[in-house]
Structure 1
Amino acid sequence: MKITQVDVYAIRLPLITPFIVSYHSYPDMPSIIVKLTTDEGIVGYGEAVADDHVTGESWESTFALIQHSLGPAVIGHNPMHMEALHDKMDAIVYQAPAAKAAIDIACYDAVGKKLGVPVYDLLGGRFHERFPITHVLSIGEPEQMAEEARERVEQGYESFKMKVGRDVLSDVARIRAVREAVGPNLAIRVDVNQGWGNAATTLQAIELMKGLNIDWLEQPVKADDLDGMVEIKAKSMIPLMVDEGLKYKREMREIIQKGAAHKANIKLMKCGGIYPATKLAHMAEMAGIDCQIGSMVESSVGSAAGFHVAFAKKIFSSVELTGPLKFSKDIGNLHYDVPFIALNDQAGLGVDVDETVLAELTVRHETLKEGLSL
């Protein structure tokens, strides 16, 4: 089996409401969809949701890189040969993890369909039967976030991830309002997205959060400040999760060596796809670091890929892949039984892509074939 055609689509996924984090507000979600076709007529889909602040890529640069470099390079490649695939992509471009993730995911989808098995069976088989879904609250006024949390409790949600990172006083007011709204027992995870900047500011916030029963605190300091994470971890009783500070094996080695986090948020868009995500999970497991599969707010395609990794590995205790629940229109049909997710057993990613919707949301499309010079 070999790849004979690569289609790359630049799309914009419409959000029900804007998604607001510490560094940006998204009115819609720009995404890149890759469609691989093999010489046997098998089609695999992948996705890249790039983020200038996290992956170091843009929507435009990701499209161009796949169009001009990565896409032509994988034509003729056997999608089953994942180690060789990543070695080839790494030799072409340094980092660019989201772009590589799109091709990686599409290859896994195609291989699963070829063999007639779900992607999780390619990763060691299914371990988890289902995961609870955490509702993500984007940044808003305290009363607004509290009201949204109340509504989600009525729908059955039992855990929340709060986006904060504006300033300590207003952020603590947001957290306190949500805690009062949902009661003392439901899980609240606080994601600062680097917004508190350094350890000193974070420790001030932690002091003000006493008594609010925070499940864990995610990436309060700048991504490259692992020493700040070490200081916070040593001085706080709140479990600490690394996110933007973890992309590749090099960062994971340093996190383990320094003891910089209790938990790791592994995202396919940060590390390059399914194959490298499993390597990070194995490293974390050996070091006793609990893992979560996180999201850059992907469609059904990217979200399903993350779920397959999480369902296959024991070390994952939580998932945060709620992109499809935030879109008013999606290209795929990943099914949620809110507040849980239980993957189907269909071959590949188990997602049917609606080509009509894909075309409707597409801003730009290029087709790459064997022998076609761009």
Structure 2
Amino acid sequence: MQHHPRFLPTPGSWPIERIEARIIDIPTVRPHKLAFGAISRQSPVIVQLWLADGACGFGEAATIGGPSWNEESPESILHAIQNHLAPALLGQPGGHFGAALARMDLACRGNAFAKSAVEMALIDAVARTLGLPAWQLLGGRRHNSLPLAWTLASGDAARDIEEAQLRLQQRRHRIFKLKIGARAPAQDVAHVAQIARALDGQATLTVDVNQAWDGATARRWLPPLIAAGVTLIEQPVAKWNVEALAMLTATLGDRAAFMADETVCTPQDAMRLARAQAAQVFSLKVAKHGGLLRTLQVAAVAEAADIGWYGGTMLETSIGSAAAAHVFSTLGPQHHGCELFGPQLLVDDVVGARMEIRDFELQLPDGPGYGVEADIAQLTRFDRARAGLNATHVDLGRRAAMA
């Protein structure tokens, strides 16, 4: 694109010229068991977005278990991007993030994960054009690092204990989350208690029930979990059951903190929970909120309501994990760490170098954009379309040009 020198656009106004999206399939190092099933492969959608000045940004949307976790799947995310979101943004000014979100909302209702991946790539591209780390575009960094949790989800207590002890020795993690809800409550409590005894005095324990229990079951079985040493309890009841969550918080919240995850997606959800005093912590996940900017909106409600935050994960590669780290780094001090361990759970990654973990904390990557460099060869290696599976790798800019 040619520009007369007197009318050269400012970096933030460079138009969006091209968008590509692809599904990649990466095996996990071990099965990751949750209340609703187990995964042995992650299939995130990776977005590349080019501005007219040639700057390229990357975004990612990953789901845990695809549509078994929420309404979006890798295939639906890709479809929304290629058929609705990208066409709505081509030719638009890159630096107008709010306007870009509004255009995506007009083009496609819902689809928070898909919008998140596109917005993530856009912010990365603009930050790279400006030569700035993304946190400078998101309000400014308040944390250089965050305590990093690890999820013990093999389903086998002995293996989980061995895994936790190794992570402690490596000085990588001393916050451990246990995924429960797939077995009978008594079995889950026994499983957690066994691990708690082995790690007593060495680590902090969280349990994630992933909505598996009803209110009565939660009232019966959460007290023994708390007695075993659990200090943070994530989404014990269904996402719609705000009343039960509020009751649990009111009756047990002085012994352990209650964290909302699936219940809090939008700023409006956050307001409802705050009014009901139904949670003491919000699990923030960039994809479920619909992007980095909307994550900031949910976090603002939490801060105003004196609710803590926790940096959640959808088991992203280092692309999505680094983007989340940048937005989490701008938030206030009332936090419970983060769990951006997704890259460690994958057999390989799609960046040249992962974020550093040192002294139990994830170090915020610096440098332009999200501070990690995508490895195109690795993206190609794991590209589902190149593996001959059911997907497409689309170049929407070229497709639009040929139309």
TM-score per shorter chain, which class? over 0.9
1:40 aligns with 2:61: no
Q: Does the Cα contact within 8 Å between 2:322 and 2:365 map onto a contact in 1? A: no
CA distance in 1, matches of 2:115, 2:70: 11
1:11 aligns with 2:24: yes
CA deviations on 1:176-207 (whole Å, 9 max, x unpaired) are: 111111123520011111122x1110111112
CA deviations on 1:297-319 (whole Å, 9 max, x unpaired) are: 00011001110011111146211
Query: What is the 5 A alignment of 1:65-76?
Result: 65-76=80-91
Post-superposition offset of 1:84: 0.8
CA distance in 2, matches of 1:298, 1:133: 15
CA distance in 1, matches of 2:332, 2:325: 13
Structure 2 gap segments, 5+ residues each: 1-13, 386-392
Query: What is the 5 A alignment of 1:84-103?
Result: 84-103=99-118
Structure 1 gap segments, 5+ residues each: none
CA distance in 2, matches of 1:47, 1:207: 38
1:213 aligns with 2:242: no
Post-superposition offset of 1:14: 2.2
Post-superposition offset of 1:38: 1.0
Q: Give the 3 Å change call, closer, same or farther, for CA 26–7 of structure 1 in structure 2.
A: same
Aligned pair partner of 1:335 in 355, 363, 366: 355
Post-superposition offset of 1:89: 1.0
1:154 is matched with which residue?
169
Q: Give the 3 Å change call, closer, same or farther, for CA 28–192 of structure 1 in structure 2.
A: same
CA distance in 2, matches of 1:97, 1:373: 29
CA deviations on 1:305-364 (whole Å, 9 max, x unpaired) are: 110011111146211110111111111133222432112320111110000010010013
Q: Does the Cα contact within 8 Å between 1:149 and 1:181 map onto a contact in 2? A: no
CA distance in 2, matches of 1:189, 1:118: 32
Which amino acid in 2 is paired with 1:189?
Answer: T
2:247 is matched with which residue?
231
CA distance in 2, matches of 1:35, 1:209: 44
Which amino acid in 2 is paired with 1:246?
Answer: V
1:28 aligns with 2:41: yes
Q: Does the Cα contact within 8 Å between 1:119 and 1:308 map onto a contact in 2? A: yes
Which amino acid in 1 is paired with 2:401?
Answer: L
Q: Secondary structure at the match of 1:312?
A: coil
TM superposition outliers: structure 1 runs of 4+ over 6 Å: none
Larger mean CA deviation between 171-180 and 298-307 belongs to: 171-180
1:116 is matched with which residue?
131
Q: Give the 3 Å change call, closer, same or farther, for CA 284–210 of structure 1 in structure 2.
A: closer
1:356 aligns with 2:377: yes
Aligned positions, number? 373
Larger mean CA deviation between 257-266 and 78-87 belongs to: 78-87
Aligned pair partner of 1:186 in 203, 210, 219: 203
CA distance in 1, matches of 2:246, 2:357: 38
CA deviations on 1:154-192 (whole Å, 9 max, x unpaired) are: 222211111111221111111111111112352001111
Post-superposition offset of 1:294: 0.6
2:401 is matched with which residue?
372
2:180 is matched with which residue?
164
Post-superposition offset of 1:373: 5.8
CA distance in 2, matches of 1:211, 1:229: 19
Q: Report % sequence identity.
A: 29
CA distance in 2, matches of 1:264, 1:344: 24
CA distance in 2, matches of 1:176, 1:46: 39
The two structures have a TM-score, normalised by structure 2, of 0.89
Greater Rg over alpha carbons, structure: 2
